[in-house]
Structure 1
Amino acid sequence: MTFLAAGIVKGVTGMGLPTLAMGVLGALLSPLVAASLLIVPSMVTNLWQLLAGPRIGALARRLWPMTAASMARTLTAAPLLAGGNGGATTAVLGATLVAYALYTLLASPFRVAAVQERWFSPLVGLTTGVIAGATGVFVIPAVPYMQALGLEKDDLVQALGLAFTTSTIALALGLASHQAWQFDQLALSVLAVVPALIGMWAGQILRRALSPATFRRWFLIMLALLGAEMLLRGVV
């Protein structure tokens, strides 16, 4: 049921599966076991999200400076997550995410001009990589940046799939190189793919039924909820 619900959230908004699943499983299992269960469903759903849309080539060409910089920096920063406690950093990131989502809901949306992408994209990628390496969270500042590009809802979801897939691969490689990735839960992790995919399929149907304005509102609400969960997790 946890992965089914998390898959629905990801199908609608393009993100949220790891955070929602960790929030529920963390109350029942150790964080290490819960994280091990997330490896395969996260990777599979990210790949599906990436390959489901028709504009993967155009998005990859547009966003490759960000994704390449993020992968490189995540690989080098992964030891921070493997060897330290990222509670304080996670709390700060959660507070930032809540503030951003609430500001965007209440204020006029801002946009990144096309001429600014050339230098903005690698900077966002490097910053996202550092944060991902320290906390395992790929949301800040990549998600607000991609939303500021003014992508259509389906393009935004596919762009999130691209960013999350590349970052997950880089983090997995970085953690595996430091013997911090447990493989003993692989069988259960594979089984968790089935309900996650069913949920994601249902969520994609819901997304197609939403208007752009409704999608944007719920996307930002989901960002705020993710940030609140990160804030509480970091504090507690």
Structure 2
Amino acid sequence: MLDLSAASLLMIALTFFLAGMVKGVTGMGLPTVAMGILGTIMPPAGAAALLLVPSFVTNLLQLLSGPSFTALALRLWAMMLTILLGTIAGAWLMANDTAGWTTMGLGAALMLYAGFSLAARQLSVPRSLEPFLSPLIGIVTGVITGATGVFVIPAVPYLQALGLTKDDLIQALGLSFTVSTVALAIGLSSGGALQFDSMSTSALALAPALLGMWCGQKVRNAISPATFRRWFLVCLLLLGLELVVKPLF
């Protein structure tokens, strides 16, 4: 059962406001931030259950905002299918973890993503390799998503390497994140980690997440997105390190 005290609800609301703000500024990061912060105060399975509704709604809006859904779905269907299967399988690890390994895995995933992004390594994948790489990237992303609740590794660097236009990349990320969210819900439900109080609290978290997104879009016009993104990644790196070492003490 979730702790639904006033202090806990306030913490959840503030977390999703901050996560929504990051998404409003950078176009991504809501599940990553939410999992990172909530993972310090509750098991990853509980944190993952809370992010389902805000993540699904915000990513669905992002998915539907672009003009190329059919073309992207046909191009990326194998990756989406293996994300679905891998996430459902990986969620068993999260739902049945009793030794804190998924908390350490969450921290490692955050550190890997932040470190890769700070290094600003731009990869390029030839179109001829996509039929082989897409299913592999999908299954690895799915297992990591299911085990940690973080959707970004290695899906985001891979999609960035496909040479998509800016609008198509945003829509492709929305597609990947939406599939991951649905698959995570299925995996947590089949593993017994998804309960009614989790979903009701997740629905309540939608409002601060949307408010945060709106504020983030306003902030994006006032500061440099590159500067914000750099400091956000540094904080994410430190947060990941804290999650890695936490179970050791």
Q: Same fold (TM over 0.5)?
A: yes
Equivalent residue letter for 1:163: S
Are residues 112 and 220 of structure 1, via their aligned partners in 2, closer, same or farther at CA, if it must alter by over 3 Å? Answer: farther
Are residues 162 and 225 of structure 1, via their aligned partners in 2, closer, same or farther at CA, if it must alter by over 3 Å? Answer: farther
Q: Equivalent residue of 2:194, what SS?
A: coil
Equivalent residue letter for 1:234: V
Mapping for residues 25-174 of structure 1, pairs under 5 Å: 25=38, 30-31=42-43, 34-84=47-97, 85-104=101-120, 109-174=122-187
Counterpart contact for 1:43–1:168, Cα < 8 Å: yes
Identity of aligned residues (%): 51
Task: Please list the CA deviations of residues 170-223 of structure 1 after superposition, one character each: whole Å capped at 9, or x if unmatched.
Answer: 11111111211122133332222122123324445666x69xxx7677657655
Distance in 2, Cα, partners of 1:224 & 1:151: 27
The answer for unaligned runs of 5 or more in structure 2 is: 1-13
Distance in 2, Cα, partners of 1:121 & 1:173: 22
Structure 1 vs Structure 2 CA RMSD: 2.8
Distance in 1, Cα, partners of 2:111 & 2:38: 22
Distance in 1, Cα, partners of 2:232 & 2:200: 30
Give the length in aligned residue pairs: 228
Equivalent residue letter for 1:192: A
Distance in 2, Cα, partners of 1:64 & 1:86: 28
The answer for unaligned runs of 5 or more in structure 1 is: none
Matched with 1:13 is 26
Larger CA deviation: 215-224 vs 56-65:
215-224
Are residues 217 and 63 of structure 1, via their aligned partners in 2, closer, same or farther at CA, if it must alter by over 3 Å? Answer: farther
Equivalent residue letter for 1:3: F
Distance in 2, Cα, partners of 1:91 & 1:30: 14
